[in-house]
Structure 1
Amino acid sequence: MTKPQKVRPYLTTHSLLPENQETPIQFINNDSVENQLFFRRNHFTYPTLSYSNYWLPINGVVSAPLLLSMQDILQYPSKTVEVVLECSGDKRNLFEPKTFGEQWEKGAISQGKWKGVPLRTLLEISGIGEGAKEVVVEGYDYGLRTDLDEVYTYTRSLPIEKALHQDTIIAYEYNNQPIPFKHGYPLRLIVPQWYAMASVKWIKQISVINTPFTGPFQTIDYMYYPNKDNDQNAFPVTAININSTIQKPLDMEKINTGVHLIKGIAWTGKGVITKVEISIDDGYTWSNADILPGKNVGYGWVSWSFEWNISEKGEYTIKSRATDSFGQIQPNLPFWNKKGYGYNAIDKVKVKVE
């Protein structure tokens, strides 16, 4: 007798060139997403790299520029951080009115354990010069930006304070294995609490500068533009907004009367999640969900659940609302912006009880 084949979930594909695929978030049952299901966000095609001939330059406003081999980097004291990485365009397709861009649903988010050397360690060895303001990290991925009709590498900067944060790391492992190539191998910047555009993949070089960085992925993209018709009052995308997602039941699912477990995840870019509330009457009343104990530390999401005893048939709108240790609460409506970043309105699904 043949054993039944194990059925496995797949990434949800939005585009192939460049490859943009999201995590099937409803199938994620633990706090570490396996690399095959980790969401993929690219601006260009994948670069060509050789691990054996890989060198990392650190230059700019430093007293002792460095050129480090992978062997050098592996010699420094390492640390492991569990970090949620969320694309700033996560949930973009929920904005009303709609915004242009990759129409991410709820799965442009994943997390796991990243191991590497603190960026601070390397910057201190190179000797940060007086007046240093930002640290620029350039990736190996590049391509044509049609809006500017020029070829650019993917390059971003961090304020010097964020670059020196103890848990901002140059990672070389994900979940105890070398970082998968599609997620930044051999070296990826990991910036906890910020949207994932800051966590530059396939690092090519690091430069310390004493003026603001003005590359297009810093000053055109990843900016909040609050006005539809002009670029006034724009400000940069940085820390992750407080958010939650209902994983079960699914939107527009049919279920039976009886006891059902509503479950999901919640996360924030500031502090930790302190409360998750559930409404099964479209926000008229709220009850506290149970937050999985022992996981509400660091920079990851928390899993939560709520037992729902359904006795009456009909249509229900279930909502989830998170609160963090800084008193931030998910809003009823998201902050609308022209490029569709940072969606974090109260999550909701509709179900029919038969």
Structure 2
Amino acid sequence: MSNPQDRLNEPTLSTRGLQPENKETPISFLNTDIVPSHLFFKRNHFSYPKLTYSNYWLPINGLVKTPKIFSLQEIVKLPSKTIKVILECAGNKRSLFEPKVFGEQWEKGAISQGYWTGVSLTTLLEATGINPKAKEVLIEGYDKGKRTDKNNEYSYSRSLPLDKALDPDTIIAYEYNSQPIPFKHGYPLRLIVPNWYGMASVKWIKQISLISSEFKGPYQSIDYVYYPNKENDTDSFPVTIMNVNSTIQEPVHMEILNTGTHVIKGIAWTGAGEVSKVEVSTDHGDTWLEAEIEPTYRSYGWVSWTYEWSVYDPGEYTIMSKSTDTLGRTQPLKPFWNRKGYGYNAIDKVEVKIE
């Protein structure tokens, strides 16, 4: 039996909102790179949907040759795959933008990862056949509600371009870490779109439709769009692939440490290519030294890194981390400011005091 005191010492989610529920992963206190479901961050636009699992069906319709309705039992019997995927909310680190932007003030924990098991979306689409006029695949969730800027009720719906939908690693998942996906994370079926921000991975899938034109739903044409200008929509473009990024997990911000040797540790990730190096600075960026990256097989997850820091002079220090990927993308000193606060990926920083 587990010790009750151990449970008291376990990390918990940090609350950003309750109606709807939005909570952060305790990213600094994870002792594994596979996030257990009870520590997986929660991002919702509406209250949780009411579903009847015993009569759950997945229709695929629109521009298909043969519309089909799949039962959950049929889907589970199809050839499956398991992939390690990171899901990062597009608003992760929003609270760090200057000037401040409106929205959930996520710190560094709107990010989690683990093993997802399911069926390639392309397997289901091959079973229905694709009409040559199809350009996008529209995924509608059961979660719905009213928006603050609209009077109508909307389902949470997103589309994917056909080529991304047909990527064999875009899956309709039914398990997370070898267990049924928890209801609050999308049970019974959730779309998983590797390399893209988490808004693309629609939960509680209600139906899938193939369409011939660009989808203009509010969670695609209003939200999850980069707006570089505060006053107008000029030069806006959609949020898709995750930026290269890193987070320092230890030490924590404003921690007091003794002189001596300390291990700086963290995670790094990217939505394109792979993380090729992580650099650490303890002198405000005057010098950068490479951290050690833990070996990992190619996946869609983050890499863990460590850097051994010997410090013997008391004082206040700023520790910085900078990740670079194989496409040559590097974290900038300042983020790309946009008025909805998406895609923050500036060099990470924590302040510590040495005594």
- Superposition TM-score, scaled by structure 2 size: 0.98
Offset at 1:273? 0.4
Q: Does 1:190 align with 2:192?
A: yes
Determine the structure 1 residue equivalent to 2:331: 330
Offset at 1:4? 6.3
- Between stretches 98-107 and 29-38, larger displacement belongs to 29-38
Determine the structure 2 residue equivalent to 1:352: 353
5 Å-filtered alignment, 1:235-274, equals: 235-274=237-276
- Between stretches 85-94 and 296-305, larger displacement belongs to 296-305
Determine the structure 1 residue equivalent to 2:5: 5
Offset at 1:74? 1.0
Partners of 1:273 and 1:296 within 8 A in 2: no
- The CA distance in 1 between the partners of 2:302 and 2:3, in whole Å, is 36
Offset at 1:3? 5.9
Offset at 1:239? 0.1
- The CA distance in 1 between the partners of 2:94 and 2:31, in whole Å, is 23
- The CA distance in 2 between the partners of 1:197 and 1:22, in whole Å, is 15
Q: Percent identity?
A: 65
Determine the structure 2 residue equivalent to 1:299: 300
1:20 to 22, 33, 56: 22
5 Å-filtered alignment, 1:1-354, equals: 5-6=5-6, 7-293=9-295, 295-354=296-355
Distance 1:3-1:151 versus aligned 2 partners, 3 A rule = closer
Gaps of at least 5 residues in structure 2 are none
The aligned amino acid for 1:5 is Q
Partners of 1:192 and 1:299 within 8 A in 2: yes
Partners of 1:12 and 1:23 within 8 A in 2: yes
Q: The residue matched to 1:327 in structure 2 has which SS?
A: coil
Task: String of CA shifts for 1:200-259, please: whole Å, max 9, x gaps.
Answer: 000000000011101000100000000000111110000000000000001111000011
- The CA distance in 2 between the partners of 1:208 and 1:224, in whole Å, is 25
Offset at 1:282? 1.1
Gaps of at least 5 residues in structure 1 are none
- The CA distance in 2 between the partners of 1:30 and 1:166, in whole Å, is 27
Q: CA RMSD in A?
A: 1.0
Structure 1 residue ranges, 4+ long, deviating more than 3 angstroms after superposition: none
Offset at 1:54? 0.1
Task: String of CA shifts for 1:249-303, please: whole Å, max 9, x gaps.
Answer: 011110000110000000000011010000011111000000011x151100000
Q: The residue matched to 2:5 in structure 1 has which SS?
A: coil
Partners of 1:136 and 1:158 within 8 A in 2: yes
Offset at 1:44? 0.2
- The CA distance in 1 between the partners of 2:206 and 2:147, in whole Å, is 19
- The CA distance in 2 between the partners of 1:24 and 1:296, in whole Å, is 25
Task: String of CA shifts for 1:162-189, please: whole Å, max 9, x gaps.
Answer: 0000100000000000000000000000
- The CA distance in 2 between the partners of 1:168 and 1:50, in whole Å, is 26
The aligned amino acid for 2:165 is A
- The CA distance in 2 between the partners of 1:325 and 1:301, in whole Å, is 14
Offset at 1:29? 2.3
The aligned amino acid for 2:291 is A
The aligned amino acid for 2:99 is P
- The CA distance in 2 between the partners of 1:304 and 1:170, in whole Å, is 31
- The CA distance in 2 between the partners of 1:275 and 1:223, in whole Å, is 29
The aligned amino acid for 1:286 is W
Q: The residue matched to 1:307 in structure 2 has which SS?
A: strand
- Superposition TM-score, scaled by structure 1 size: 0.98
Q: The residue matched to 1:112 in structure 2 has which SS?
A: strand
Offset at 1:75? 1.5
